[in-house]
Amino acid sequence: MAVVKEFTLPDLGEGLTEAEIVRWLVQVGEVVAIDQPVVEVETAKAVVEVPCPYGGVVTARYGAEGESLAVGRPLITVAVGTAVNSDASGAAASADGDGGEGSGNVLVGYGTTAPGARRRRVRPAAGQSPAPAPAPASVAVAAAVVATAPAGPVAVISPLVRRIARENRLDLRSLTGSGPDGLILRADVERAVAAATAGTAAAPVATAPAAPAGPAADVVGERVPLRGIRGAVAEKLSRSRREIPDATCWVDADATELLAARAAMNAGGGPKVSVLALLARICTAALARYPELNATVDTERNEIVRLPAVHIGFAAQTERGLMVPVVKDAQARTTSGLSAEIGRLTEAARTGRLTPADLTGGTFTLNNYGVFGVDGSTPIINHPEAAMLGVGRIAAKPWVHQGELAVRQVVQLSFTFDHRVCDGGTAGGFLRFVADCVEQPAVLLAAV
C-alpha cells in the first residue's frame, strides 16, 4: 500500500527564510527517484534546484511559478510504496531504511547524495498544520499513472539552460540532447530557439491599441518587481546608505610594473594569475597593516568588531545581475590560490551554480568596474562591511616617470570606507599602500 509523504521547502542556509518558485521540474503523476530535483527556486542569493528525498509518484504540488514560499511550507507530496516504487528503482526501500525520511539530505544545487553532503531532517514550521493527505482513491490513481509516466527526468543539469528554455517558452521534453547520455546543453536550446524564431518570423504582428490618456504612473512604463537577487541588492544598498556614514578618497597609480610582474609570473607555463588576484593579494597585505578596516559595526552594542579572517568579495556581473562571490580566508591563500578561487567562483556565477554560502560572509569587497571601460566610481559599501576598494580601467596615459613624460599604464583607485571605524588618515594610509604596491609590486615583499 502506498504511503503519502510530504516534502516541505528545506532550510536553504545562510539565514534565508523564503524562496520564489521559478520552475517546476516535475508534474503531478510523474514518477520521481530519490534525490531527483523537483523544483527550481530563486532565493535572495542564487537560483538553485531542490531535490526531493523521497522516491515515488508525485500526488500534489504546492505553489505556482512566481509564488514565494516560506521555509517549512509544503512543496510536494509523494506516494511511496511497493506498488508505486516498482518502477522507481526501489526508492521506497531506501527511504524507509532511514526512519521514513528518504535520503534525509538536502544539499541544494548539487544533488542530495553527493559525497560529504550534509544530512538534514526537514520539519514543518512551528505551528503549521500538515497538508491534508489525498484520499485512498487519489493514491490508487497516482500508482496507476506509473505505467504511463515518463521513464525519468529531463536530462538537464544547468539551471541556466532551464532558464533560457523557460524564457523562450520551449518544452525541454521535446529536445534530444547532444551531450553525454543525451544531456541537453545550452547549444541545443539555442538552436531550438533559433529554429522556432525563424519559423515565426513571417507571422503578422498584431498592433496593440493606443494606451488611453492619463497619469503617466498608470499607463506608461514597465513595472519590474524588486524581488529575488535584484530585491536583495536593492535592500542591502539602501540599508548601506541609511546606516553607514561613508567617505571616499581616490588616487591615480602607475600600473605598468604590476602588469609586467603579472606577465613574468605567467611566463612559466603554470596556472595563469589574473590582475584581480594580484589586487586581492595587495588588499590582504593592506588589511594586515590596517586591520581596523576589516571590521563591522555592531549598532546594538555600539561596538566596532575587528574580524580575524579576511573574506574578500568581488563584484561579478552576470546575466541575472550583479553578484558578489566571496573568497574565504583570502589572507591564507597564495597569489595563485587566489587566482584559482576567483576563477572558480566567476565561472560558477556565470553558469548559475553559486551556492548561498558562496555569496555570504564577506568582510571586504574588491570592485573592478574597469571591465566596463570606466575610470572612476564612488562605490557603495557592501553592508555590513566597513570598506570597499574600487578599481578603474588600466589605460595608456601620459605620466611623469623618472622625471620624464612617458606613456604608462595608469589606473584610478577609489576607496570608500565607514567613517565610524576609522578616520581619514587610516583610510588614506590604506589607499596609499595599495597604490605603492601597484606601482612597485616589490613593496609586497616587505609586507610579508
Domain CATH code at residue 367: 3.30.559.10
Identify the helix (H) or strand (E) that includes residue 306. strand 303-306
> Based on the domain organization, do 137 and 278 belong to the same domain?
no
Give the Cα separation of 312 and 299 in Å (integer).
23
In a domain, 158, yes or no: no
Mean pLDDT within 232-250: 90
Domain endpoint, select from 153, 177, 204? 153
**Any domain includes 7:** yes
Measured distance CA(408)–CA(413) in Å, rounded: 16
Same domain, 139 and 250: no
Domain tally, the chain: 2
CATH of the domain at 50: 2.40.50.100
Co-location of 147 and 251 in the same domain: no
Q: For residue range 253-293, list pLDDT tens digits in order.
A: 999 999 999 999 999 888 899 999 999 999 999 999 999 99
Rounded to an integer, the average pLDDT of 90-115 is: 41
User: What's the CA gap between 52 and 46, in Å, rounded?
Assistant: 19
Which domain-ending residue is among 118, 136, 153? 153
**Residue 237: inside a domain, yes or no?**
no
Q: Phi and psi of 84, rounded to 5°? A: -75, -45
In a domain, 204, yes or no: no
Please compute the mean of the pLDDT values over residues 52-60 and round it to a whole number: 90
Other CB atoms closer than 10 Å to residue 385's CB: what's the count? Answer: 24
In a domain, 16, yes or no: yes
pLDDT tens-place string over residues 122-180:
334 444 444 444 444 444 444 444 433 344 445 655 656 777 787 788 887 788 888 76
**Active site members:** 419
Is 422 within a domain?
A: yes
**Residue 268 lies in domain:** 246-447
Q: Are 326 and 362 in contact (CB under 8 A)?
A: yes
Mean pLDDT of 363-384: 91
Q: Looking at per-residue confidence, does 395 or 322 come out higher?
A: 395
Give the three cell numbers for residue 350: 556565470
pLDDT of residue 394: 96
Of 103-112, 148-157, 197-206, 416-425, least confident by mean pLDDT is 103-112
Alpha-helix residue ranges (DSSP H) falling in 290-359: 335-350
Q: What is the pLDDT of residue 180?
A: 67
How many alpha carbons fall within 13 Å on the CB side of residue 278?
Answer: 25
Residues 143 and 269 in one domain: no
Neighbours of 285 (CB within 10 A): 19
Pair (325, 434) in one structural domain: yes
Average pLDDT over residues 359-383: 91
11 lies in the same domain as 141: yes
The answer, as to whether pTM is greater than 0.75, is no
**Integer Cα distance of 91 and 204 in angstroms:** 51
Contact 42, 65 (CB under 8 A): no
Position 93 scores a pLDDT of 39
The C-alpha cell 530519490 sits at 34
Q: Domain ends where: 135, 153, 171?
A: 153
**195 — pLDDT class (breaks 50, 70, 90):** confident
